[in-house]
Structure 1
Amino acid sequence: MVGHRRFRSDDTRATRETVILPIERRELFADSQLTQAPKGVLLHGPPGCGKTLIAKATAREAGTCFINLDVSILTDKWYGESQKLAAAVFTLAIKIQPCIIFIDEIDSFLRARNSTDHEATAMMKAQFMSFWDGLITDPHCTVIIMGATNRPQDLDRAILRRMPAAFHVPLPNVQQRKQILDLILKNEPIEEGVDIMKIARASESFSGSDLHELCRQASVFRVRDYMKSSKSDCPPSTSTSQSHSNISESDDEFHDALRSISMDDLMRSLQKMKESKLHCGSLQMDRIELD
């Protein structure tokens, strides 16, 4: 695949040189078609690694408009309407250029064509690629089709040809996991004995969204402890209506009484998620044990 690169936090320069800089300073590249921004960019990698966020950040840094294209927008039961909708998307993008048209889960829309495809679906794909070719052949047009997928092998070869710049977004390494955990827990109360690096080392094969869920579950444990202690302190004769009134009047006390997130909370949450990922087949047996 032409232009294939592995996207990491220390490799943002490649994205900037390939996509952002040619858009920001497009007047410098006007005389050369070889150094202009590619008309198609593919972000692929495991789910939960922030491909959509990367696309939005790229558009924001490059100063372009951003169209988050939902495939359902292009589907219509009436014959010929899908082609008109596809034409409308490209017409809008050209009017507001520079613009990035982003298609999440692009494999569900532009997957490899076969004889079982419905006629309307096949025509819609052909129409979409036809308009896309119009962008490619116009050197003065600054509209980029950016797609994200975790199944690049399912994409049609004609689509891969139109996306010469491809970036693999991998799972975060241990240092990146620590940075993600630090960011998630930045504004949360945590105990002094919490070892973020230990959690980062033990969460191998976790994506950014997995780490967010890990912290969320750890926070839920302390809420459960608070609810248990509240029930034990509540007299048996207290009515339901009075309990609701007390809860509504003591929101500040609730936040003050809620303990900080402990290392045990994070480790319990990590173990629970590892077991869940193991049963789903997304984690190997030799990684279930905690350090």
Structure 2
Amino acid sequence: MSDFNFGGSQISRNEIFQMIIRVSLASVVTYFSVKWMMKQIDPTSKNKRKAKIRAEEQLKRLAKGSNFELKTQTLNDYELMIASHLVVPDDIPISWKDIAGLDSVIQELRESVVLPVRHRDLFNQSKLWEAPKGVLLHGPPGCGKTLIAKATAKEAGMRFINLDVAMLTDKWYGESQKLASAVFSLAVKLEPCIVFIDEIDSFLRNRSTNDHEATAMMKTQFMMMWDGLSTRAGSTVIVMGATNRPQDLDKAILRRMPAQFHIGLPTDAQRLQILKLVLELENISESVDFNRLSKLTKGFSGSDLREMCRNASVYRMRQFMRDNESAINAAENTEEFHDATSSDLLAISMEDMLRSYERMKESKKHTQNLFVENHIELD
């Protein structure tokens, strides 16, 4: 056995091999120890595991009852993060019949988005007939923009990615761009697909020199991938955004969203339709005058009208509880009590609706006054 002389000391070949083995083992242990520590330190590691489980569940449910199949093994980690926000069309509880007062917008969306997706063989004969790559829904809050997006995905039978913009931000440099790219690479694999971004102005607002470098790069990557879809023939991926402030959107984004729909405050006739739809299955008395309520509620949004009806129903229940407190305490688990709750005593009256209207009116007036005062102070 040969020896080696290092600095005057003799080292055998076996000792060298043992030294190499010890160094190698120490390196391996150190590597996996550091890797484990990084996972424990990283607050997003747990969320990533949950996202993967959620993505697997959604893709399995998406495959049921259809010939579509996309295995999670074909997706990278970034696509799995995005897939965790996938919504199966059958799980969307909203359809066109659940939206009142927006018949003209629904008809235009049906003709420009739904039909080209459902009948792609017919509409693919001309590129001018294809569905738009971007759809923008803008208008005051509470007027049904998000409902329209969900109903469009439901009626068209498209997969729906409800994109959480906060998920695209990552503390590691370059990760946000990869997540932005994964949005479109996944959408192409899932097509036909709608990528919905609520409050899109908070993400793709006007670019300026004051933007953080990571944010600017993420926006640029998102727009580059979005434009790249147009070069792929037959791609059916639609980016749909909703905003209350379209003026804050970057001009490059507005160019990529040629189909723009203004969802304004409902008119008298539209408010009448909304009130009838909201109270369609509710217990209401004959005293409720829908025409009068629709004229009184000028300036109310669809969500305001629904909240007004909900408050009126709560008022009626509270009054019933007060008037029948002793009887309810004595027989709250009997059939008599359940029969009483379904009687005309709980029918929403016109008085309840007017009381709720007055409260909503005062609340809106107070909110508007605060907004004006804050605006004056800022000026």
TM-score of the pair, normalised by structure 2: 0.66
Alpha-carbon distance, 1:166 to partner? 0.4
Match of 2:235 among 127, 134, 141: 141
Q: Which has the higher helix share?
A: 2
Amino acid at match of 2:150: K
Take 2:171 and 2:136, find their aligned partners in 1: how far apart are those partners? Answer: 29
CA-atom RMSD in angstroms = 2.1
Alignment partner, residue 91 of structure 1: 185
Alignment partner, residue 222 of structure 2: 128
Alpha-carbon distance, 1:78 to partner? 1.4
Take 2:311 and 2:198, find their aligned partners in 1: how far apart are those partners? Answer: 27
Alignment partner, residue 356 of structure 2: 269
Confirm whether residue 78 of structure 1 aligns to residue 172 of structure 2. Answer: yes
Please give the residue correspondences for 1:225-264 in structure 2 after superposition, counting only pairs within 5 Å.
225-231=319-325, 233=326, 247=332, 252=338, 255-256=341-342, 258-264=345-351
Confirm whether residue 109 of structure 1 aligns to residue 203 of structure 2. Answer: yes
Match of 1:54 among 148, 165, 168: 148
Amino acid at match of 1:98: P
Please give the residue correspondences for 1:169-248 in structure 2 after superposition, counting only pairs within 5 Å.
169-231=263-325, 233=326, 247=332
Query: How many pairs align?
Result: 267
Q: Percent identity among equivalent residues?
A: 59
SS in 1 for 2:137: strand
Which is further off, 153-162 or 177-186? 177-186
Match of 2:368 among 273, 278, 281: 281
Take 1:202 and 1:208, find their aligned partners in 2: how far apart are those partners? Answer: 14
Amino acid at match of 1:223: M
Match of 2:123 among 4, 9, 29: 29
Confirm whether residue 155 of structure 1 aligns to residue 242 of structure 2. Answer: no
Take 1:83 and 1:247, find their aligned partners in 2: how far apart are those partners? Answer: 59
Take 2:302 and 2:222, find their aligned partners in 1: how far apart are those partners? Answer: 32
SS in 1 for 2:320: helix
SS in 1 for 2:185: helix
Which is further off, 55-64 or 212-221? 55-64
Alignment partner, residue 239 of structure 1: none
Take 2:333 and 2:250, find their aligned partners in 1: how far apart are those partners? Answer: 56
Alpha-carbon distance, 1:139 to partner? 2.8
Take 2:281 and 2:116, find their aligned partners in 1: how far apart are those partners? Answer: 37
TM-score of the pair, normalised by structure 1: 0.85
Whether the 8 Å CA contact 2:173–2:214 is kept in 1: the answer is yes
Alpha-carbon distance, 1:140 to partner? 1.7
Flag structure 1 segments of 5+ consecutive residues without an equivalent. 1-6, 235-241, 283-291
Amino acid at match of 2:159: C
Whether the 8 Å CA contact 2:105–2:261 is kept in 1: the answer is no
